[in-house]
Amino acid sequence: MDDLRDKYLGLIAGATDEPTLEDLRVQAVGKKGEISLKMRELGKMTPEERQTAGPALNALKAEIASALSAKKAALEDVALDERLRGEWLDVTLPGRSRRQGTIHPISQVTEEVTAIFADMGFAVAEGPQIDSDWYNFDALNIPGHHPARAEMDTFYMHRAEGDNRPPHVLRTHTSPVQIRTMEKTGAPIRIIAPGRVYRADYDQTHTPMFHQVEGLAIDRDISMANLKWVLEEFVKAYFEVDDVELRFRASHFPFTEPSAEVDIRCSWEGGTLKVSEGDDWLEILGSGMVHPKVLENAGVNPNDWQGFAFGMGIDRIAMLKYGIPDLRAFFDSDLRWLRNYGFAALDVPTLHGGLS
């Protein structure tokens, strides 16, 4: 016993680091340590021998454990002293500044888009997010059999039994704002309608709630040439390029005739979009000349007035400009994401004039 005691107390006293100390603990009192093996031999002893050896072994085990604990604390103190000597911190320096809040990319891009179109004479119009199917579909020349009117694509408001009011939906686009504004002000008109819209879809590039901005210009002699110029000026200003090449592809939308999908010439380098260069094309919006039936439904005489309309996803163009890979991140990310993609409040142009 005395030999074991002297052996391990000496080794513990001479240990210079924690890994060495841990090895000694295992050798002495670990599952297969020398003292542990000695204690297993108690079962082979006579009762008289156990009365002497048992307390002695327990006392030795406790003494070794106490020495290990004391040495570990001493080594930690030495390590701390070395860190304090080697590291230096001036506690009188001011702390690192961190922005207390940031502008969400959706809010930032909405402000950017609004400012660009305001320079071209477009006012901002708003409308309800819950609207009747007349404003959301019928007034826009969308027939009853159109797929967008199916419950698998559109959120319909619940109606209690006996409630015979017209069906209402969470708007699927901001086009109802165009109808309501034409009803209210007539023509001529030049507006954009930004806001939330809702569709029953969810994946990397679709969410049940997202944001759109639609534009409408009505006058006596507006043409597709005016539409092309407006979109070119917008793309140049938004993506901050001096020149841009747009491609108009014939398409079909119930509320415009003729209709066109609009692509921009671009390239992708390392996952980064380069506008106005390269050999690739990227679709960014839909557009066309307002259908005469839509004008009639809004109380505007199509024999006297004509115009164009366009629409694009704010979330989508935010992803393109600022390199955000997943649309769902706009809605389910934490503050670390917002600190990375957010914008300083003092640098954001606002609808109220100047900088916020």
Look at residue 115 in the predicted model and tell me its pLDDT: 94
- In degrees rounded to 5, what are phi and psi of residue 41? -75, -10
Q: Which whole number is the average pLDDT over 311-340?
A: 81
Which residues are bridge partners to 213 per DSSP? 194, 312
Look at residue 143 in the predicted model and tell me its pLDDT: 84
pLDDT digits (tens, 9 = 90+) for 75-116: 888 888 888 788 777 778 887 776 677 788 899 899 999 999
Contacts of 173 by beta carbon, 8 Å cutoff, 6+ apart: 136, 197, 212, 214, 311
Beta strands 246-253 and 168-170: pairing type? unpaired
Look at residue 40 in the predicted model and tell me its pLDDT: 77
147-165 in b/e burial notation, b at 16+ Cβ within 10 A?
Answer: eebeeeebbeeeeeeeeee
